[in-house]
Structure 1
Amino acid sequence: MDPNLLYWKSQGQSFFGRLRIWVNLLDPTSLLSSDAEIEKAHALLGTVEKVKEKDGPAPTLSLSSVHADSGAALPLVFRPPAFLPISAPLVVASFLPHSSVKPALFWQFLLQSYSAGFNYSNRNSSAEEGKKTSLRQLLLIAGTVSYATCAGALPQILINRLGVRNSSVRTFFRSILPIPLSAALAFFNVFTVRSDESESGIQVYDSNGNPVGLSKAAGEKAVRETALSRAALFGTTAALPNLLVLFTQRTRLFQRNSLLAAPLRHISVAIVLGLMIPVSFSLFPQLGTIRKEKVEEHLRAAVNEGQLYYHRGL
């Protein structure tokens, strides 16, 4: 089992323990570290006691920069510390009340493309064993981005196609509909981009960290948990700012100064997104567990423990 997973096993089994770790991991200054520094931190993480005594920053650098299946450094833009700086402007722009369909499609395309790349880079790749990305997977990612882009711009498309002029209906399309739509598309993006894990299975481990075999049941659980956490992230990010703007627009201050609504929306989206990222990443353990009865029969016979472990991905 990779040192990153061993660390999560010892330190990240409670929600608040994971939250504390993720708050540290999302520090964007770790993006400035070189590949040599990342490799050294990953090697040092193999001995947790040594890391604690001499190289405190090593766990943070390894966990935030190294893929737990391949042991290789993640692409810079798809590392967890880069998620907020890159996704924040895309999310803010995607939630804007656009005047036409083209800008809505453009920002949705950028957001869904980045989300698909992040989901794919941080997937569980234990069943791939160094295989290159297949044409089928590339087509699946392209199809996911295309569908999610059109669906994400659906509120603006409906407003333009139906010629909506009624203020209440426009408010519904621009402030209410994006809430469930954002959550559903985030779930869909993870579920489809990482569908290979459910079909091929992912590596499961016993309590000593020894690989037992590939499990489709564990793959389905890993993808489902990650998809739910991403739905919680984007659904909450859409809900709280929109509801806040709807509430404040009824106050005297905002009725007299209607231009205040736009900066309030932008700032609140960025703040909620920033707060929700570590929370959503912490909802489920990075080293997940699955009961022995839930896995395939040939895996049950290989272990005596009541549960097995798997890398959930991110």
Structure 2
Amino acid sequence: MAEAEACPAFRLGGSRYDQGSFLGRLRHFVDIIDPSTLLVSETRLKESIKLLDDFKHGRLPTGVSDLQLWEAQKVKQATRSSCRSECQVIGLLLPNQTVVSTIIWQWLNQSHNACVNYANRNATKPTPTSRFLQGYLGAVTSAVSIAVGLKVLIDKANKLSPATRMIIQRLVPFPAVASANICNVALMRHNELSEGIDVLDADGKVVGSSKIAARHAIAETAFTRVVLPMPIFVLPPIIMSYLEGLRFLQTKRRLMLPIHSLVCLLTFGLSLPAAISLFPQMSQIEVSRLEPEIAMATDCKVVTYNKGL
């Protein structure tokens, strides 16, 4: 019985863990970003894809267990969804940033975020290329403006001690990235606000298109994007300011960057699954809170919509 609960019947495209609870979603995303999948060989990836294809077309070999199928899907999803944000995080948190380096790292980070938001949007409505460019330019402009503005203000604050100024400089990326992330999500998915997103009944049938549900979806996603960088940009500066004071590292400065990178990587690995697990991807909302025409089109009291990631 315990084994059945630990490994439920395989569902292609589904999740091994309960997506109705935060813990289940957390386990799901921790599974997807498992660093061991970075070592998966091309042969193992092809075998996993073939196994899933055999399952889809009813050609599954005898003796293949649900656990093997879940592992195959994990390999496929993890390989396609491998995150490359760690290097950007490290770059944003490097000490002694210049205006030019600040602009470059913020531009790289928001370019990545624009692609992530576009790829993980609710795609029930087509998004014009102009919307993508608008979101991209808006996010980059806001991030660079805030980051550079804060840096200039700190550089002019002569009353601050060098140690205090260093800590504040390292904390500057958080408000810059958080505000830019909100702009990025809102602008990249503005089409959903104007046209609405599909809401589904209990049978998965489209009931209608709701702008109110779209606002909820984007608000939840934007909140996630604010929570996500919080530990990443707050904890490493505090930890590194302490570590840099140790005599051991003062005599071995060459170890500073590897240790800094490791601290950022560990923090990122913890904060990413926790942040995107805050809300289920398939969220629910009461019909009474939506447009009157949707309430008239269904007898359901609650409908479902795809929030995106």
Structure 1 length normalisation: TM-score? Answer: 0.77
Contact 2:181 2:222 (C-alpha < 8 Å) held by counterparts:
yes
Match of 1:68 in 2: none
Q: 1:175 aligns with which of 170, 175, 182?
A: 170
Contact 2:199 2:305 (C-alpha < 8 Å) held by counterparts:
yes
Match of 2:232 in 1: 237
Match of 1:191 in 2: 186
1:285 and 2:280 equivalent?
A: yes
Contact 1:182 1:238 (C-alpha < 8 Å) held by counterparts:
no
Computed over aligned residues only, the root mean square deviation of the Cα atoms, in angstroms, reads 3.5
**Following TM superposition, by how much is the alpha carbon of 1:134 offset from its aligned partner in structure 2, in angstroms?**
3.1
Match of 1:215 in 2: 210
Equivalent runs, 1:67-78 vs 2, <5 Å = none
The answer to which of 145-154 and 104-113 deviates more is: 145-154
Contact 2:143 2:179 (C-alpha < 8 Å) held by counterparts:
no
The C-alpha deviation readout for 1:236-278, integer Å capped at 9, x for no partner, is: 1011111222344555656776776554433211110012111
User: Identity across aligned pairs (percent)?
Assistant: 27
3-state SS of 1:56 partner: helix
- Give the greater-gyration-radius structure (CA): 2
Q: Which amino acid aligns with 2:124?
A: S
The answer to which of 188-197 and 267-276 deviates more is: 188-197
The C-alpha deviation readout for 1:202-224, integer Å capped at 9, x for no partner, is: 11111111111111111111111
Specify whether residues 31 and 237 from structure 1 end up closer, same or farther in structure 2 by C-alpha distance, changes over 3 A only: farther
Contact 1:194 1:223 (C-alpha < 8 Å) held by counterparts:
yes
**Following TM superposition, by how much is the alpha carbon of 1:115 offset from its aligned partner in structure 2, in angstroms?**
0.9
Match of 1:133 in 2: 128
Q: 2:269 aligns with which of 274, 282, 287?
A: 274
**Following TM superposition, by how much is the alpha carbon of 1:176 offset from its aligned partner in structure 2, in angstroms?**
3.5
Specify whether residues 10 and 249 from structure 1 end up closer, same or farther in structure 2 by C-alpha distance, changes over 3 A only: closer
3-state SS of 2:165 partner: helix
Equivalent runs, 1:1-314 vs 2, <5 Å = 7=14, 11-27=18-34, 28-29=37-38, 33=45, 37=49, 41=53, 44=56, 52=66, 55-57=69-71, 59-60=73-74, 64=77, 79=80, 81-83=81-83, 86-128=84-126, 133-159=128-154, 162=156, 164=158, 166-168=161-163, 170-249=165-244, 262-314=257-309
Contact 1:191 1:227 (C-alpha < 8 Å) held by counterparts:
yes
**Following TM superposition, by how much is the alpha carbon of 1:199 offset from its aligned partner in structure 2, in angstroms?**
2.1
- State the distance in 1 between where 2:308 and 2:12 align: 12
3-state SS of 1:293 partner: helix
Contact 1:8 1:286 (C-alpha < 8 Å) held by counterparts:
no
The C-alpha deviation readout for 1:43-93, integer Å capped at 9, x for no partner, is: 8399xxx9948733454367x38xxxxxxxxxx8xx5x322xx11011101
**Following TM superposition, by how much is the alpha carbon of 1:136 offset from its aligned partner in structure 2, in angstroms?**
3.9
- State the distance in 1 between where 2:16 and 2:205 align: 13
Match of 1:71 in 2: none
The C-alpha deviation readout for 1:66-125, integer Å capped at 9, x for no partner, is: xxxxxxxxxx8xx5x322xx1101110111123421112111111111111111111111
Match of 2:4 in 1: none
**Following TM superposition, by how much is the alpha carbon of 1:143 offset from its aligned partner in structure 2, in angstroms?**
2.6
3-state SS of 1:11 partner: coil
Structure 2 length normalisation: TM-score? Answer: 0.78
- State the distance in 2 between where 1:125 and 1:42 align: 28
Q: Where does structure 1 lack aligned partners over 5 or more consecutive residues?
A: 66-75
Q: Which amino acid aligns with 1:25?
A: I
3-state SS of 1:187 partner: helix
Specify whether residues 209 and 237 from structure 1 end up closer, same or farther in structure 2 by C-alpha distance, changes over 3 A only: same
- State the distance in 2 between where 1:167 and 1:208 align: 62
**Following TM superposition, by how much is the alpha carbon of 1:152 offset from its aligned partner in structure 2, in angstroms?**
3.3
Specify whether residues 192 and 301 from structure 1 end up closer, same or farther in structure 2 by C-alpha distance, changes over 3 A only: same
- State the distance in 2 between where 1:222 and 1:44 align: 31
- State the distance in 2 between where 1:172 and 1:42 align: 54
Number of equivalences: 287
